[in-house]
Amino acid sequence: MDTLNIITLFLYNIVVYNIPLLYGTVGEIITEKSGSLNLGVEGIMAVGAIFGYIVGCYANSLLVGILISFAAAGLCGLLFAFLTVSLQANQNVTGLTITTFGLGVYFFVGNGLKSVNWPVMSDYSAIQSGFEAIEIPLLSDIPIIGKGLFSHNILVYLGIIIAVLAWWYLKHTKQGLRLRAVGENPAAADSVGINITLYKYLHIIIGAGIMGIGGYYMGLNMSGSFSSNCWTNGYGWIAIALVIFANWSPLKAIGGTFIFGFFNTLRVSRGSLAVAFPELLGWLNNVPAKLFQALPFIITAIVLIVDSVKKKKNSNEPAAIGLNYYREDR
């Protein structure tokens, strides 16, 4: 493989590793803007992945898979909303419980079906064709970067569209303004007639549904090969940190997830990069693969630690995040 093709493939893989993080991050941003901190992203993505993949394959439809992954993950969001909004349960504990529950469902369903009749992605032509790359006219013809950045499957473009629409919704619509008010000061929002419960329920469910599509993408990207490792592979935890990294902006999340995607791509492409650029990047072969695998999680920990000790002056973090709203205390 020549040098230019290696660069193109590297850029392509950055996008591949970036997109599931983008779904998880945008979904969590929408959730947190309602004032709810959902630490169940990992489990929710896993539920969306397993049900979206199985039902999508049996229906032989990518669209059905997307809708089912959204719906299954949305049900997890509904459970979280019921426990934290209606029953006033602790949000941190509930989110961690949702993660444990979601991963348990993932392995229970996956292992159970694997022993009976696991759907192999290669047997479903409509799924495969729907997941093929779509080239963006003109942009995909740009040398080196064209095929790397502008020739991807429909779920890649959908993720970016959702991020842009979420940004526009939060910044430029009346409903987005009301949502931000709920997350900043639910008592004040309640006093002007905003239905706090409705806004929290709706956006927690929508946010969870978006996370589920990200999980489904990861399942398809691994060709539906079920193993002892979960498809989500810790991406849900990284997405939570990326919310902070992106300063609660869906638009900034696009760039933030690309940075994390870059480090993930180094893990699988360091050998080819070292061969293509021996003088500049030859040292990559001397770095243990496990370090590159751990690097996104190390950066995640650093982001969380820095955020906990130093609140940014221009932070867009909702003031009431993680706090249950008791109307009687208004």
pLDDT-based confidence at residue 214 (cuts at 50, 70, 90): very high
pLDDT-based confidence at residue 273 (cuts at 50, 70, 90): confident
Residue 317: CB atoms within 10 Å: 17
Percent of the chain with pLDDT over 70: 96
Q: Which residue has the higher pLDDT, 42 or 3?
A: 42
- Residue 307's H or E segment, with its range, is helix 289-309
Provide the domain limits for residue 135.
3-329
User: Is residue 232 pLDDT above 70, yes or no?
Assistant: yes
Cβ–Cβ under 8 Å, residues 86 and 196: no
pLDDT at 2: 77
Total of domains in the chain: 1
pLDDT at 228: 67
pLDDT at 311: 61
pLDDT at 253: 95
Q: Which residue has the higher pLDDT, 206 or 294?
A: 206
Least confident of 145-159, 261-275, 305-319: 305-319
pLDDT-based confidence at residue 291 (cuts at 50, 70, 90): confident
**CA angle, 144 then 254 then 71, to 5°:** 115
pLDDT at 310: 65
Least confident of 45-49, 80-84, 102-106, 288-292: 288-292
Tokens standing for residue 123: 């047997």
Q: What CATH number is associated with residue 155?
A: 1.10.3470
User: Is residue 87 pLDDT above 90, yes or no?
Assistant: yes
pLDDT at 316: 87
Least confident of 88-92, 130-134, 221-225, 244-248: 221-225
**Residue closest to 210 by CA, chosen among 21, 27, 16, 66:** 27
pLDDT at 198: 96
Q: Which residues contact 244 (CB under 8 A, 6 or more apart)?
A: 303, 304, 307, 317
pLDDT at 88: 94
pLDDT at 308: 67
* 134-181 pLDDT per residue, tens: 999 999 999 889 999 999 999 999 999 999 999 999 999 999 999 999
Mean pLDDT value across residues 258-275: 83
pLDDT at 330: 59
pLDDT at 240: 92
User: Is residue 1 pLDDT above 90, yes or no?
Assistant: no
Mean pLDDT value across residues 209-232: 87
CA distances from 42 to 31, 85, 145 (A): 14, 21, 31
Q: Where are the alpha helices (DSSP H) in 33-173?
A: 41-59, 62-81, 91-114, 125-130, 145-149, 154-172
User: Is residue 274 pLDDT above 90, yes or no?
Assistant: no
Using the Cα atoms of residue 32, residue 34, residue 35 and residue 41 in order, give the sign of their dihedral.
Answer: negative
